[in-house]
Structure 1
Amino acid sequence: MPRPPLPIGSWGKISTKVTKTDAKGKAIGHMAKANFRDHDGQVRDVRAAGRTASAAEQALLAKLRDRAKVGQAGALTAMHKVSHLIDLWEKKFEERIVDGTRSPTSLDTYRRAIRNHIRPAFAELRIGEATTQRIDTAITKIKDRSGAPTAKTCRAVLSGMMKIAVRYGAISVNPVREIEAIEAKPKNPPRALTTEEVTLLRASLAADPGAVRADLPDLTTFMLGTGVRIGEALAVLWHQVDLETGTVEITHTIARLPGEGLIRKVTKSRAGERVLSLPNWALAPLRSRFAVGVRLDEPIFADTLGGHRDPSNTRRSLRVALSPVGSTARRDLGLALRAHRRTTRMSRKEVAVTLGWPQTRIELIETGRIKVDAELVSTLLETYGTTLDDTPELRAHLEAALRPAESDKLAWIRSHALRKTTATALDDAGHTARQIADQLGQAKVSITQDVYLGRRAANPAAAEALEQAFDDPGLL
C-alpha cells in the first residue's frame, strides 16, 4: 500500500548531517533537511544550517513554519497578524475600485477608520486571536469613545476583512458575525423644508451678496428641482443638459481624494446614473445662464476659473450663508465682545482653552453667527475681567440680540436637507418609494424611506377607519 502524501503546508521527518569539521575532526557545522509539501502540491527539499545539530534543526523548523504560513498562492493562516489581513483587504478593495464596483471615497472613509481605530486595536493580534469577544470589546470601546456611526463603520470593515480570512482558510467562522448589532438613534429625524421655508431660503440667498458670489441661489434651486447630491450637481457639464426637453443626465460626482486632489468620478452605483426631468422653475435659471454664453465641456456650476468646485467648500459657503446672523444687534454684540477680549490681549484660542470650548465657538459668537444668552455672555465677560453690570451698553446690545430673527428659521438647513425636501415633495405627490429612490439615485428603497422621507403628520383617515371599525357603544 503506497504511503499517503504529506498534507499541504506540512513537512516530513527532519534529518541532520555533519557538513564541516575542525582540524581535530570535531563537527562544527550541521545541515538539517526535510521534505515540505508546498501550497501548489509540489514536494520540495528545505534545508537549514547550524553549528550544532540542534541549532540546525531549530533553524529548519523556523523556516518550515514560516513557509507554512504563506504558500506560493498567498494563503493565510491563523498565525498571521491582523496587520497582514488589513493590507490584503485594502489591496482587494483597490482592485474593486479599478473594476468600478467600489468608490474611492469609500476607501478613504474606511482608511480613516483603519488608521484611527482598527490598526491600534487589532494590528498586533494574530488572526486566530481575533475572537468574537475581543472584537466585541474593542468595538464597544470605539462606540463609547467616538460614537455609534464610527463603530458601525469599523464593524463593517472588520467583517469584510474576516470574510477574506475565512475564504483563505485562516479561520472557519467570521467572528464579527456574532457581534451584537450597533443601534443608534439618529441625531435628527428626517426633516424636509416646508413651502414657506423654501420661499424664505431662496429669498434669503438671493439677498445675500456672499451667497450670490458663491453661486448658491441657482445651485440650491437646481438641487431642489432634482434631488441630486451636491457632488453630483457640481459634476454636471453643460452638454449633459437638454434645455429643449428639460432633462439632465447625472453620471458623475465630484470628490477630493488624498494625494489626488479634486476628481470627477462615476457615481457610486449604477443606480446613480440617471436622466432627470427638470421643473420649469429649475430650468429657467439654467436657460438664463446658457444665454450669457457657456462652453459645453464646462460644469454648470463652475469655479471662477471655469473648473470644478470643491463640494466641501461649497457646503461651507452654504453653512455661512445660513448661519443665524439674524440682526444688526447680534452682530454688534459680537463686535462688542471681541473688543472686550482684545482689551485683555487674549487670543480666541486662549479664551477657548480657558473655558474648554471649541475655538470656532468664539469666532461664531464674535461674528454674530450664533445665538447667545445672558449666561453665555456673562461667562465670557468674567473671563475678560468684567460683568454685565459694569457694561450697560453691552447689556443693551444683549437685550436687542435676544429678540428672534427671521433668518434663525434657516440655521438648521444643510445641503442634504434639500435632497430630503425633494424626496418628501414627491412622496406627498403620491410617487412610490421606488420612483423616489430612482430620482435620488439610490439602489435600496429602504434607505429612501428611512433616511430621506420626512415623517408625515398623523394620518387623519386612520381615525375615521377605526371609528367605523369599532363603533359599537358596548366596546367603549
Structure 2
Amino acid sequence: MARPRNPIGSHGVIKIDEVAPGKYRARTRYRFSDGKSRQVERFRTTGPKALNALKVALTTIEADRGGELKPSTSLRELGQRFLVSKRELGRSEGTLETYSYAVDVHIVKRIGDLSISEAKPDRLQKFLTTIERENGPGAAKNCRSALSGMMGIAVRNGAIAHNPVRELERISHRGKKGSSAIPLAQLPEFLEKVRQDPYLIEKDTVELIEFMLATGWRVAEVCALDAGSIDFALGTATVEAINVRVKGAGIVRQEFPKSEKSGRSTPLPAATLELLKRRHARLGEFTSLLFPTPLMRPRDPSNTQREIRDRRELLGYPQLSTHSFRKTAATILDRAGLPASEIADYLGHENPSMTQDVYLNTIKSETKAAQVMGEQLQGLI
C-alpha cells in the first residue's frame, strides 16, 4: 500500500547528515501549494544549527517562492495583495483610491502587524469601532469592505477556513441626518438666492445647480459632462463618465459611469437644453467640458460639494448638499405621478426599490420625465 502524501504546506521526516568535516546538512521534502513535493535543505557547521536553519526556512518558503498565503502572513502584506488584485480586476480609479486610503491610512497603521490567523472577529470589531468613533461611519464602512476583501483572499488561498469579517456588526450612519429635498414651493426663492450669491457666481456654480435640479444627475456626472455627450438635435445628455480625484494625478475624467445603470441618456427640458447651448457657445473655445472650473480645468466633485456646503447657512438651508438637488428632482417627478421604475431610470438607480425607499414617499400614475421637469421648472431655469 502506497504511503499517504503529506498535506500541502507540510514536510516529511528531517534527516541530518555530516557531508564533510564541520559541514552538516538538514534536509526534508516539503509539499508546496502546487501539490508537488520538493527537497529543501540547509547547511551549517553543526547538526543542531542545520536543523534550526531548515525549520526557519520551512516557515517562509512559500512566501520566498511567491506562493500562497499562510496563516502567519501579516495584514500589512495581505492588504497590498488585495490592492494589487483590485487593480488587476480593472476597478475604477475612484474605487482604488478609496481602498488604498482604507488599507494604507487605517488598516496597516493600526493592525498591520497582526497575522492573518490573529485577525479574530473580536480584534477586528474593536478596530472598526475605533475607526467609527474617531473617523466616522464612512471610514469604518470602507475599512470593513477592504478587510472583507482581504480576508476573502486569505480564505481562497487556504490561509484560514472562513472570513471573520462576516461575524462583525454592520456599520450604520447612526445619528447622521441626511440631505433633504428643497420644498417645491420654495424653489423660486431658493434659485433667486443662488443667482444672487457672489461666491457661487464667482465659482460658476449657479448653472450647475440649475442643471442638477432639472436632471437629477450626480455631481461627479455633471462635472464630467462633455459637449460630445450632448445630442442637441434630440435634446438629450448622456452620462458617459464621472470626474474622480486620483492620487498623484489630480482630477481625472473616468471614461465610464458609476455603474451600468448610471450610463443613461436623459431627455432634457427645453430650457435646460438652451442652458447647455449657451454654455457651449461661451466655453467651447477653451474646453469641451460644459461645467469646468472658472480656469477651464476639470471640476472636482468634492470641491463643488464643499462650495455648496459653505453657503447653505447663508442660503437658509442648513441641510443642503448636492444630493438635495437629486432628491428634489425625484420629488418633482413623484408629485407629477411618474412610477418608481421611470424615476429610477431618470436618476440612474440600479433598483427602483432604492428610489422608493430613499427618495420618494408616494408613487402615482405615469407621465414623461422631461416634460414634467420642463413644466415644473418653467420660468425658474
Partner Cα separation in structure 2 for residue 125 and residue 321 of structure 1? 45
**Pairwise CA distance, 1:223:** 0.8
Checking the alignment, whether the CA contact within 8 Å between 1:39 and 1:72 is kept in structure 2 is: no
In structure 2, relative to structure 1, the CA distance for the partners of 1:293 and 1:412 (3 Å cut) is closer
Checking the alignment, whether the CA contact within 8 Å between 2:180 and 2:320 is kept in structure 1 is: no
TM-score (norm: length of structure 2): 0.86
Aligned to 1:87: 80
- Structure 1 position 268 matched with structure 2 position 278: no
Which residue identity is paired with 1:18? E
Partner-residue secondary structure (3-state), 2:8: coil
Structure 2 unaligned regions, length at least 5: 365-381
Which residue identity is paired with 2:55? L
- Structure 1 position 286 matched with structure 2 position 294: no
Aligned to 1:318: 308
Checking the alignment, whether the CA contact within 8 Å between 1:232 and 1:254 is kept in structure 2 is: yes
**Pairwise CA distance, 1:309:** 1.9
Residue deviations 1:155-175, cap 9 Å, x none?
Answer: 222112111111111111111
Aligned to 1:180: 169
Checking the alignment, whether the CA contact within 8 Å between 2:178 and 2:319 is kept in structure 1 is: no
Which residue identity is paired with 1:208? D
**How many residues matched?**
362
Larger radius of gyration: 1
In structure 2, relative to structure 1, the CA distance for the partners of 1:229 and 1:186 (3 Å cut) is farther
Aligned to 1:418: 325
In structure 2, relative to structure 1, the CA distance for the partners of 1:312 and 1:455 (3 Å cut) is same
Partner Cα separation in structure 1 for residue 188 and residue 108 of structure 2? 49
Partner Cα separation in structure 2 for residue 290 and residue 140 of structure 1? 49
**Pairwise CA distance, 1:454:** 5.3
In structure 2, relative to structure 1, the CA distance for the partners of 1:184 and 1:317 (3 Å cut) is closer
Partner-residue secondary structure (3-state), 1:272: coil
Partner-residue secondary structure (3-state), 2:68: coil
Partner Cα separation in structure 2 for residue 190 and residue 428 of structure 1? 19
Checking the alignment, whether the CA contact within 8 Å between 1:197 and 1:410 is kept in structure 2 is: no
Aligned to 1:251: 240
**Pairwise CA distance, 1:297:** 6.5
Aligned to 2:51: 57
Checking the alignment, whether the CA contact within 8 Å between 1:192 and 1:454 is kept in structure 2 is: no
**Pairwise CA distance, 1:446:** 4.2
Residue deviations 1:113-157, cap 9 Å, x none?
Answer: 223332233211121111122222222233333333332222222
Q: Percent identity over the alignment?
A: 34
- Structure 1 position 9 matched with structure 2 position 9: yes
**Pairwise CA distance, 1:312:** 2.8
- Structure 1 position 40 matched with structure 2 position 34: yes
Checking the alignment, whether the CA contact within 8 Å between 1:105 and 1:257 is kept in structure 2 is: yes
- Structure 1 position 431 matched with structure 2 position 338: yes
Structure 1 unaligned regions, length at least 5: 22-27, 325-406, 460-476
**Pairwise CA distance, 1:295:** 5.2
Q: 2:151 aligns with which of 162, 165, 169?
A: 162
Checking the alignment, whether the CA contact within 8 Å between 2:287 and 2:296 is kept in structure 1 is: no
Residue deviations 1:61-112, cap 9 Å, x none?
Answer: 1112222x4485731121212222111111111122x2xxx32212222322
Partner Cα separation in structure 2 for residue 204 and residue 53 of structure 1? 86
